[in-house]
Amino acid sequence: MTPATIVLIVVGSVLGLVVFIIAAVPVVKGIGWLIAHVARFVYSMVSDMARLLGGLITAVIFVPMILLNIVIGRWSAAGHFGRAFQDEFVGVGHCVYRLLISHPARLLGLSALTEGIEQRLPQAMAQAPGADRPSGRTGQFEGYRIVGSLQGGGSGGRLYVAEPDDRKKAAFARSGRTVEQVVIKSFSLADGSSLPQIIRESRALEAAKKLGLILDHELTDQRFFYVMEYIPGDSLTVVTKRLHSEAGPEGLTERQLGPVMGMIADLLGELDRYHRGGLWHKDVKPDNIIINKGRAFLVDLGLITPLRSAMTLTTHGTEYFRDPEMVRMALRGAKVNEVDGVKFDIYGVGAVLFAVIENSFPAHGGLSQFSKSCPEALRWIVRRAMTDLHNRYASAGEMLADLRTVLGSADPFMVKPVDLPSVRGGGAGAVPPPMPEVDPMVAGVAAAGAAARKEREGFVFDVKAGIGAGAGGERPAAGGEQGGKGRGSRSRPAIAVADWWTGRYDAVGAAPAAGAGAGPGAGAGERAEDARRTPRRHAGKSAAAQLEAAQERVRRAQERVGRRMSRGATHTSFARRGKFSSEPNPGVAAAFFIFLGAAVFGAFMTIRMAANNRGPASAPALAAGEVRIETDGGTVRLGPTMEETIRRGFVATGTEDDWVFDHAQSAGSIQEEVARAMRDATPDERDRLVDAINRFGEKATVTIEKLRTRLAQFERGMPGGMSGVGAGARHDEDGDVAVAAPAPVKEIVGGDFSSGSVLILDMVPEGADPPLEDTLKKISSKLRERWYRVLGEGGEGGADDVEMQAAARRVIELSGPDDAQAVERVRRWLADEPGVDSVLWIGTRGDNGRTMLRLVSRPTFDESSLRAALTER
Amino acid sequence: MLNTLTTSFVSRLRARDAAAWYELWETFGPVLRAQLTKWGKGRIGVETVRDLSQETMAALSDSIDRFDPTRGARFSTWLLAIAKHTLGDEIDRRMAQKRGSGKRSSALDEEWMTSAGGRSPDGEYEAAVFRAKVYAAIRLVEKQSDFTDFSIYRMRVFDGQSGKDVAAALGTSEPTVSRRLAKVRDALRVRLEEVVKTYSFTEEEQGEAERNGLSPAPNKADDAAFDDAIADVYHKEMAARRSDEASITG
């Protein structure tokens, strides 16, 4: 071997080893993973099984505790245990789900299958709206008809969707709005709202009024509610999930990015409007953004705060969409006017944009990592919005300018951060975004309202009852602040809001009529300022014409309302009402129903058992040897023998009512069997039997054949026979009589008492040694003990029996049981003879003349138990 | 013996400085949540984990007054022991509630301060605590740096983009990118040293950064290794917090 060969071998070996290791390591890893995977599955199954059992046991223990507490009137304790029961029950449900679906799916690598059930379903359920109607304690909302509800937010308020009545609609129309549906946010002390919540919301309301976001409001000593316009649509959370489910794991497509950026642009525009109005939304998050026809609307006014407020900053907001810096400032006790709320809203927009792109919330603030496909410029915008305060966009407009640059490009992925106005150094000032227009309808109709009121003397709003005053009162307030108080010449009297909660205000230095109408009128003064800045839809129309148009809209709205009312709203009929507690407790209800079910079942079983045992307790004592058959319909006494029974005409204790009339139960077979039994009876007996049959028709429930078998067994005193006086029997579903005898006889249930019919055929010539009589008796006795009907030797006797034996003998002829052909003939005969299942053939062998026993059975008959009985010692 | 930064921080905690507590919560809350989730798997839900991690902070607040630095416990062990106590207490309370009897909170066993003797109870947990410290340092640097500077560092180190791409994206030159990168890196080194010192009770803990390739001493040759280590910690921390997110969202 040359050195080169050795080197080659060594190198080859090393390479081979390396290749082997490279190949083997993944395989070993894979096997290890597989073992660990299966082990995890087994462990999960076992632990969940144990948890399931534990949960069930615990839940069962809770049931009596709940009921006991209900009985003794400890409702709170019952509720407590009810909740505990509910927890256990839910836990059991989860275990069942995991055992049946989740773990097997995971084992098979199909976790994606269960994602919907485990994530989307609970989320949808959690987001389900509450009751469709306010509770009785909360009361109704005058002027509104509740048509549904929305999921409540974290503020504790309840949200109802309602339709304003004609009066309200007219009032809204006077303020320039056509409102079909509204959202009522209600806080009621009776429904669990707290005063701090109410105070916080009321502050927000005060601020929101400035932007005309509130249509109506009311405060009583028990509740507080305000009304906003309802914007139908899905939340941005839902829309985001939908977009990502369409897009796949890579993230939003270029086609989807456009609309998404459009929505964020809407949001920024809306926020800019807030900020210019001096307001800080403070709770910008996807759940608070409603997408309607592709446009984004910011909702939830619960945390709106004036930017210049002197109140102490609170940490309210939503985690991950709230700048942590704001929390730090709040913890330091900063005042609202000491911080820049605008930048905190911008942080929220950045977080929202991140959430839309990533389909996840930005858990790491400005450091959150992008994992989905996204233009670099868009990432830059998100990070710039979420970075530290001093680096952040100074205004929504600045961010909007950057966003519009990306939005306006042919290919967003080609836009670089350097292309953004803020990076180029232009900032918001360089690209001032067009601001959202002031609703022209508001301004126009407000002016029209003022003019019209001038013409219509005596037209007075009902301040307390109507929205008209409320809305009218709000508008001028907003307008007054925006335009500056005292600006412009007013021919109207000054307005002093006496109680903003209720919308009540006083007109200073004017007649009542002017006071009522002063709201819109004063608003018109300031709106005129706006009108010079913004285009108006109604420019050029006279005030009267505009009012006329508004009235026309109201009329149309009324017609629509009328049509809807005539159709009827049915969906509010699902309103749920708690009976005992303001907090429904499904646990108590479940425990109650389980108890009720158990009680009904127990009662049913008790009654049934009592019915079964009724005979021995109530029936008169029987004479020796008598048999009593208890049926649902009454009692039948039979004689100790068939003959005696027939002699008595089947009836011993009374009338036909004693018999069970089981309708249409194999009447033909009963008649047939009775007829067969009648062949054994004397003419006199036969007459009486016929009489009995006639009287009871075809519905006699005791089949004669069964009686014959049972009575025969009884006569021989066999276990299983009717050996005990007072033996119970009951009528089964097939119309037969199921006999239940007392110990030592086991209870018998079911219609067929017989294990089968065995024909014992003694073909041994007479004088055989030893004699077979004793053996045959023992055999027949043993078979009867096992519920076989015995025919032939030691059998019942009678013509049928004799005929059967004769037929069998004819088949066998003179053959011995060792003759295969004879055995086959017997088998064929059995196949055609329904009265016999097996033949126990005792004869002598043809070859050596010794006695032999052979069992031949019908092919369909299972003779294993019969063989066991015969071979048993 | 505690260093000045740690002493100062503990003093702030003792003085019930809300911002200091929030800082502690923000930095180590996710680590506690992950650890509580791991311990209480199958027995406590997401909401309870969140509550418990806050209760751990409350327990820390009670414990901080009795904290004795001379016993030699690690900072991480200190957190862990209290979290464990909080979880155990919660489970005891639940069991007692199920039995229908009241049960007082058990007294916090502070024996660990002596018995632990600077040892770590769980390697995985220790790594998570260290990552949290690095992450806190990154966050501090992000706050103090110029947005463009930090963006360059982020794009270059965290996102793995080349210097050329970063320069093109920002319309600047590669040398400028390098210069700004170095600026952030230097700031990060300083901050990292501060953070590690602040949240370390033992000298062994203070040496953690260096052991993990994050040498606090400026060294040009180590820059790439430092960036790699930072990126590695950052990505691991992101992955860990993503799983934390997943558990929160269910």
Most confident of A307-316, A747-756, B71-80, B148-157: B148-157
**Which residues in chain B have their CB less than 8 angstroms from residue A418's CB?**
169-172
| pLDDT (mean) for A592-610 | 83
Contact B142 A363 (CB under 8 A): no
What pLDDT does A382 receive?
93
Given CB atoms, is B109 within the 8 Å cutoff of chain A?
no
| pLDDT (mean) for A105-127 | 74
Q: How far apart are CA A524 and CA A544, in angstroms?
A: 14
Closest in A328, A384, A416 to B19, CB measured: A328
Closest in B19, B135, B146 to A331, CB measured: B19
Of all residues in chain A, the one with the smallest CA distance to B146 is A391
pLDDT digits (tens, 9 = 90+) for A468-487: 333 333 333 333 333 333 33
What pLDDT does A554 receive?
63
Of all residues in chain A, the one with the smallest CA distance to B247 is A119
- pLDDT at residue A249 is higher than 70: yes
- pLDDT at residue A463 is higher than 90: no
- The neighbour count for residue A160, using CB atoms within 10 Å, is 27
Given CB atoms, is B107 within the 8 Å cutoff of chain A?
no
Q: Cα–Cα distances in Å, from A376 out to A244, A381, A382, A620, B155? A: 19, 9, 10, 99, 10
Given CB atoms, is B231 within the 8 Å cutoff of chain A?
no
Most confident of A339-343, A364-368, A581-585, A652-656: A339-343
Q: DSSP 3-state assignment of A718?
A: coil
| pLDDT (mean) for A350-379 | 87
pLDDT band at A335 (very low <50, low <70, confident <90, very high): confident
What pLDDT does A269 receive?
92
Are β-strands A756-762 and A737-740 bridged in parallel, bridged antiparallel, or unpaired?
unpaired
Given CB atoms, is B193 within the 8 Å cutoff of chain A?
no
What pLDDT does A267 receive?
92
**Which residues in chain A have their CB less than 8 angstroms from residue B151's CB?**
380, 383, 417
Q: Can you give A753-796 as a three-state secondary structure string? A: CCCEEEEEEECCCCCCCCCCHHHHHHHHHHHHHCCEEEEECCCC
pLDDT band at A367 (very low <50, low <70, confident <90, very high): confident
Q: DSSP 3-state assignment of A226?
A: strand
Q: What ipTM score was computed for the predicted complex, to two decimals?
A: 0.74
Contact B151 A328 (CB under 8 A): no
| pLDDT (mean) for A520-542 | 41
Lowest mean pLDDT among A2-11, A95-104, A264-273, A536-545: A536-545
Residues in chain A: 873
What pLDDT does A788 receive?
77
What pLDDT does B197 receive?
79
**Which residues in chain B have their CB less than 8 angstroms from residue A327's CB?**
22
Chain A interface disruption, residue of B21, B61, B93, B143, most A CBs within 10 A:
B143
Lowest mean pLDDT among A390-394, A810-814, A864-868: A864-868
Q: How many CB pairs under 8 A join A and B?
A: 70
Given CB atoms, is B244 within the 8 Å cutoff of chain A?
yes
Q: DSSP 3-state assignment of A93?
A: helix
Ranges under pLDDT 70 in chain B: 1-7, 40-47, 61-62, 65-73, 88, 90-122, 213, 215-221, 244-250
What pLDDT does A268 receive?
93
pLDDT band at A689 (very low <50, low <70, confident <90, very high): low
**Which residues in chain B have their CB less than 8 angstroms from residue A384's CB?**
147
| pLDDT (mean) for A538-559 | 63
pLDDT digits (tens, 9 = 90+) for B217-227: 666 667 888 88
The widest CA-to-CA distance across chain B, in whole angstroms, is 71
- pLDDT at residue A346 is higher than 90: yes
Between these two residues, B37 and A52, which has the higher pLDDT value? A52
What pLDDT does B153 receive?
92
Å from B174 to nearest chain A CA?
Answer: 15
Contact A58 B98 (CB under 8 A): yes
Between these two residues, A643 and B154, which has the higher pLDDT value? B154
Lowest mean pLDDT among A226-230, A861-865, B62-66, B229-233: B62-66
pLDDT more than 70, % of chain A: 58
Q: How far apart are CA A739 and CA A629, in angstroms?
A: 7
What pLDDT does B83 receive?
73
Please calculate the CA angle A731-A737-A740 and round it to the nearest 5 degrees: 90
Between these two residues, A277 and A495, which has the higher pLDDT value? A277
pLDDT band at A133 (very low <50, low <70, confident <90, very high): low
What pLDDT does A26 receive?
86
Q: Can you give chain B as a three-state secondary structure string? A: CCCHHHHHHHHHHHCCCHHHHHHHHHHHHHHHHHHHHHHCCCCCCHHHHHHHHHHHHHHHHHHHHHCCHHHCCCHHHHHHHHHHHHHHHHHHHHHHHHHCCCCCCCCCCCCHHHHCCCCCCCHHHHHHHHHHHHHHHHHHHHHHCCHHHHHHHHHHHHCCCCHHHHHHHHCCCHHHHHHHHHHHHHHHHHHHHHHHHHCCCCHHHHCHHHHCCCCCCCCHHHHHHHHHHHHHHHHHHHHHHHHHHHHHHC
What pLDDT does A2 receive?
83
- pLDDT at residue A551 is higher than 70: no
Q: How far apart are CA A102 and CA A96, in angstroms?
A: 9
| pLDDT (mean) for A120-143 | 66
- For residue A383 the two structure tokens come to 């990070």
Among A142, A195, A183, residue whose Cα is nearest residue A165: A142
What pLDDT does A687 receive?
62
Whether the Cβ atoms of residue A728 and residue A740 lie closer than 8 Å to each other: yes
pLDDT digits (tens, 9 = 90+) for A387-444: 988 889 999 999 999 999 998 888 888 898 988 998 877 444 333 444 333 333 333 3
Query: Dihedrals φ, ψ of A789, to 5°?
Result: -85, 125
What pLDDT does A237 receive?
87
pLDDT digits (tens, 9 = 90+) for B155-195: 999 888 898 999 999 888 999 999 999 999 989 988 888 88
* Contacts (Cβ under 8 Å, ≥6 apart) of A256: A243, A246, A247
Provide the 8-state DSSP code for A433: P
| pLDDT (mean) for A739-767 | 53
Nearest 10 degrees: CA dihedral of B105, B111, B116, B118?
A: 100
- pLDDT at residue A501 is higher than 60: no
What pLDDT does A155 receive?
58
Lowest mean pLDDT among A720-724, A776-780, B8-12: A720-724
Given CB atoms, is B99 within the 8 Å cutoff of chain A?
no
Closest in B138, B142, B250 to A387, CB measured: B142
Closest in A47, A119, A423 to B42, CB measured: A47
Cis peptide bond prior to A286, omega within 30° of 0 = no
Of all residues in chain A, the one with the smallest CA distance to B26 is A324
What pLDDT does A652 receive?
30
Between these two residues, A414 and A77, which has the higher pLDDT value? A414
Q: Which chain A residues have any C-beta within 8 angstroms of a chain B C-beta?
A: 47, 51, 58, 84, 118-119, 122-123, 324, 327-328, 331-332, 360-361, 363-367, 369, 376, 380, 383-384, 387-388, 391, 416-418, 423
Contact B142 A360 (CB under 8 A): no
| pLDDT (mean) for A164-187 | 84
pLDDT band at A715 (very low <50, low <70, confident <90, very high): very low
Contact A387 B171 (CB under 8 A): no
Mean pLDDT computed over every residue of chain A: 68
pLDDT band at A626 (very low <50, low <70, confident <90, very high): very low
Closest in B148, B154, B245 to A363, CB measured: B245
Cis peptide bond prior to B218, omega within 30° of 0 = no
Q: Where are the alpha helices (DSSP H) in A619-641?
A: none
Given CB atoms, is B227 within the 8 Å cutoff of chain A?
no
Between these two residues, A211 and B136, which has the higher pLDDT value? B136
Of all residues in chain A, the one with the smallest CA distance to B172 is A418
